[in-house]
Chains A and B, each alone.
Chain A
């Protein structure tokens, strides 16, 4: 049973560019959440997708957007990259039917470096 997978593993971009990160949830999971983790900090919630809709959003600007596909996989898009966007981006999946989004399974993350 594959767990949560993310691609790419590492990415280097230049300020002002755009980036797309991808996530495949654990088999049987229908909800995907995205988190940003700066160096030395705990993960910060970006947003959550369920039934292809953004269900809740954290305190992140509109430059951060996402999408969920019918197969429950998800993408995180960041436009007009800033140096401060350099971080580990984590995807987490969960099963709504199992009682909520509390028990989330995390992927290994995508390390984004903006130069």
Chain B
């Protein structure tokens, strides 16, 4: 599985868009980009995933660059409840496990 690089921490004001970057320069053609988050004292929660195209769901948007070497998770209107550690994971098709890195600790400030 390709390695990912994320900033260790970020801050964002409540109500603003939170943009979380992830570098995955060694990603291969059949690897997906997945995002999970972990709120304090809870298990990780699936957010969104994509292969090539940008994706949007009720929680977030995922923007993947054309060369697929990086991506950005966008929380359009961050709330205090979005404070969590966000993990960007690249998964090979057919893989059975999630490989978590250190993630980005996102703090939403009032």
Chains A and B form a bound pair? yes
- Spell out A's residues near B (CB within 8 Å): 4, 33, 35, 41-45, 48, 55-56, 58, 90, 92, 100-109
When A and B form their complex, what is the total count of cross-chain residue pairs whose Cβ atoms lie within 8 Å? 60
Q: Quick one: CB contact mask for B34-54 with A, threshold 8 Å, 1 for yes?
A: 100000011111100100000
Main secondary structure of the interface of A (DSSP, over half): loop
Contact B43 A101 (CB under 8 A): no
A100 touches B93 (CB 8 A): yes
- Known contacts A55-B96, A101-B96; A90/B102 CB under 8 A: no
Total number of B residues with any Cβ neighbor in A under 8 Å:
23
Residue in A42, A58, A104, A106 with the greatest tally of chain B CB atoms within 10 Å? A42
Judging by beta carbons under 8 Å apart, are A106 and B43 in contact? yes
User: Considering only CB atoms, which chain B residue lies closest to A101 in the complex?
Assistant: B96
Since A42-B103, A101-B97 are in contact, a sample of 19 more A-B pairs with Cβ atoms closer than 8 Å, ordered by chain A residue number, is: A4-B43, A35-B98, A35-B100, A42-B85, A42-B87, A45-B97, A56-B96, A58-B97, A92-B44, A100-B94, A100-B95, A101-B96, A102-B34, A102-B91, A103-B46, A106-B43, A106-B44, A108-B41, A108-B43
